[in-house]
Copies of this chain bind each other. A is one copy, B any other.
Amino acid sequence: MMRVDGRKNNAARPIRITRGVQKGVPGSVLIEQGDTHVICSAIVEERVPPFLKNSGKGWITAEYAMLPGSSGQQRINRDRERASGRSSEIQRFVGRALRTVIDLRAISEYTIQIDTDVLQADGSTRCAAINGGMLALALALKHMVFEQLIAELPRLGWLGAVSLGVHQDQVLVDLDYKEDSAIDMDINLVSTAANQIVELSAFGEGRPVPDTVFGTVLALGLQANRAIIATLQQAAREAGLHV
Contacts and interface: CB of A to CB of B under 8 A. Distances in A.
A197 B191 contact: no
Nearest to A97: B203
Interface residues of A, dominant DSSP: mixed
Contacts of A68: 41, 43, 63, 113, 115, 117
12 contacts: A22-B67, A22-B69, A44-B73, A80-B82, A83-B85, A85-B89, A96-B204, A100-B205, A192-B208, A197-B209, A198-B204, A201-B203
A75 interface: yes
A118 to B, nearest CB: 10
Given A196-B208, A208-B157, A39 B214 contact: no
The 7 closest A-B pairs by CB, nearest first: A24-B72, A41-B69, A196-B208, A68-B115, A200-B202, A82-B82, A88-B88
A95 to B, nearest CB: 9
Contacts of A120: 21-23
Nearest to A67: B117
Given A28-B69, A39-B67, A117-B117, 20 more contacts: A22-B67, A22-B72, A23-B35, A26-B73, A39-B119, A41-B68, A44-B73, A65-B78, A67-B115, A80-B83, A81-B81, A88-B88, A96-B203, A96-B205, A97-B203, A100-B206, A196-B211, A200-B201, A211-B222, A215-B215
